[in-house]
Structures are given as structure tokens and as C-alpha cells.
Amino acid sequence: MKLSFKPADFLFLAISVILIALSLLALKGNKDPVAKAVIKVKDTEYIYPLNQPRELEFTGELDKAHLIIHDGCIEFVESPCRDKICIHMGQAREDGDFLACLPNRIIVTVEGGKSDTDN
């Protein structure tokens, strides 16, 4: 069986390849070189760069939680929750890392920077 291509087929293929290439470039180029901590407390979102050391305090559902940003990472250091799982989660520093104090309703995600899968 012989396949025959029409000019419209080549045009469709070329447009598809271009769109795929542009999508990949947009996804790869979208990352901010500086990682940022995105902290959600109740209905409010706070954003802090991880390259600037600071101490943070947020009042969640239970009471105040303390986080610190140092050496390019963020971590919970004090929380009013019973089991302190958020503190034991350790540090978040790479794109996609997260921390959460669920009883206190505080969620931290890291966006931007490099992750283990980046080359």
C-alpha cells in the first residue's frame, strides 16, 4: 500500500512540530532562576525569595507558626500543632518541594529555581 501525502498534510505536520517546540520552550523558560516560597495561610498567599534570609510568623487556624528562610531553603521551626509533623518535614529548597502544617492550615510550596530533574 502506497501512502501519498498532500500539501495540506505537510503543512499540518510543520505547524504541529512548531507548536510542540514552542510549548517545550515556554515550559522550560518559564522557571524563575530564583526559587520562591509560596505560603498559603487561610485565603491569603505570601511569596518570599529563598535567597534572602528572614524569619516569618503566620497565624493559622490554631495559632502562630514560625518559619525561617536561610541558605536557600525554608522550614518550620515552631508550630502550635500537636504532632509537629511540619517541623519534622525538614527543609524545602527545590522547585516542587512543599511543607504543610495541616492542623494550622499553612501550606508552603517552592516554585522556580532548579529541581533534581533540571539539567
Residues contacting 114, CB < 8 A, separation 6+: 31, 35, 94, 95
Percent of the chain exceeding pLDDT 70 equals 87
Assess if residue 78 is contained within a domain: yes
Assess if residue 58 is contained within a domain: yes
pLDDT at residue 23, as a whole number: 79
pLDDT tens readout for residues 15-73:
888 888 887 777 665 556 789 999 999 889 999 999 999 999 999 999 999 999 999 99
pLDDT tens readout for residues 68-117:
999 999 999 999 999 999 999 999 999 999 999 999 999 999 998 765 54
pLDDT at residue 115, as a whole number: 53
Assess if residue 80 is contained within a domain: yes
The three cell numbers of residue 79 are 508550630
CB-based burial label for 85 (10 Å; 0-12, 13-18, 19+) = middle
Using the predicted structure, report yes or no on whether residue 14 has a pLDDT greater than 70: yes
Percent of the chain exceeding pLDDT 90 equals 61
pLDDT at residue 119, as a whole number: 47
Structural domains of the chain, count: 1
Assess if residue 22 is contained within a domain: no
CATH of residue 84's domain is: 2.60.320.10
Query: If residue 25 lies in a helix (H) or strand (E), which one and from where to where?
Result: helix 7-29
* DSSP E strands, 53-118: 54-59, 64-70, 73-78, 91-92, 98-101, 106-111
The three cell numbers of residue 28 are 522550560
- Residue 40 and residue 7: Cα distance in Å, rounded? 52
- Residue 49 and residue 33: Cα distance in Å, rounded? 10
Domain ranges, residue 59? 36-111
pLDDT at residue 6, as a whole number: 80
